[in-house]
Amino acid sequence: MIKNIATPGRTKEILEKHGFSFKKSLGQNFLIDVNILNQIAEAAGMSEQDGVIEVGPGIGALTEQFAKRVKQVEAFEIDGRLIPILEDTLSPYTNVSIHHEDVLKADVKKVLKEKLQTVKETAVVGNLPYYVTTPILMKLLEQRLPVTRIVVMIQKEVADRIAAKPGSKEYGSLSIAVQYYSKAATVMTVPKTVFVPRPNVDSAVLRLEIRDKAPVDVKDEQFFFQVVRASFAQRRKTIWNNLQHNLLGKERKNLLADALEQADIDPKRRGETLSMEEFAHLSNQLYERITDIS
C-alpha cells in the first residue's frame, strides 16, 4: 500500500532524501495533514471522468489525492528543484503530468485544450503562495478558462476579502472582481499548525463556482473595474471624493454629480456600502457621459 505523502514523517523523509530546503521567496509551506487534503479534494467535487489543473504541487501531497480521484492531473510547478521530487513521489500514478512553468506565464488554455480535451469537467486546485494569490486568481478568472470551479488554499484574510459582502470591512475591489466571475464561498479554515514550515497566519480553503455569465450588465468591463478600484482607493473617503480624485478629475465633477443622481447613489456613501449592482449602474451612467463627450 502506498503511504500518503502528507504525513509529518513521510514529508520529512522525502525532504531529507532529496536534500530540499525551503525558499522563503517562493512562499513554500507544505501541508502535512491528510484529512484536510481529503476535504479539499472533496470540496472540488470531481469524479473519475474529470480533470484537474493544479497550481504549485510542492512535493505532490494534494496532487496525490486528485490522482486517486480523477482521470488526469496537469500540475504547474515553478521551482525546478521540486521536479525530480515530484517525479519520485508521484511515480505510482500514470495520470499526472508535471509542467515546470510559472502558471502566470504558462498557456493554461492550451494545456486544457491539448491534455484535458477528453474529460467531462475541469477544476483548478492548489495551495497558492500568499504573495501571488491575487495575480494567479485574476489571471485564471479573466481568461475565462473552460473550468467548472476553482478550489484553492489561500491566506484566510484574503479568502475573507474575496467572499465578503457589501457593508463589511473586508469588502472591497477584490471581492467585486472575483465575484463578478464566480460565486465565492469559504469552505474551511486551516490552522497554521498543519504546515511545514509553519506560516505566520491561518489559511482557508476557498471555492469559486465559475459563472456562465456575469451577474450584472456593464457597458464596458474594463471601465467598470476602473470605477470599482477608484471607489476603494482610499477607504475612508466618500465615493464622491474617490472618483473625483482617482478617476475623473475635478473638471468633471458635474458629470459625476449627474451620474450619481441618475444611479440613485448618495455621493456621501463610501465604496464598501455599494453592491455590485450599484457599481454596475454607476459605471454605465459614467461611461455613457464620458463617451458622449469624447
- Please report, in range form, the residues annotated as the binding site for S-adenosyl-L-methionine: 29, 31, 56, 77, 102, 127
Residue 137: what are its φ and ψ, rounded to 5°? Answer: -60, -45
Torsion of CA 181, 187, 193, 196, to 10 degrees: -50
Q: 32: which residues sit within 8 A by CB, 6+ positions away?
A: 6, 7, 8, 11, 61, 194, 195, 196
- Measure the CA–CA gap between 69 and 168, rounded to whole angstroms: 38
Return binding residues: 29, 31, 56, 77, 102, 127
Strands 149-155 and 72-76: unpaired
The amino acid sitting at 28 is: Q
Cell of 140: 485564471
| Alpha carbon separation from 46 to 40, 71, 107, 147 (Å, rounded) | 11, 10, 23, 12
- Measure the CA–CA gap between 103 and 128, rounded to whole angstroms: 11
- Measure the CA–CA gap between 77 and 128, rounded to whole angstroms: 11
- Number of CB atoms found within 10 A of residue 221's CB: 12
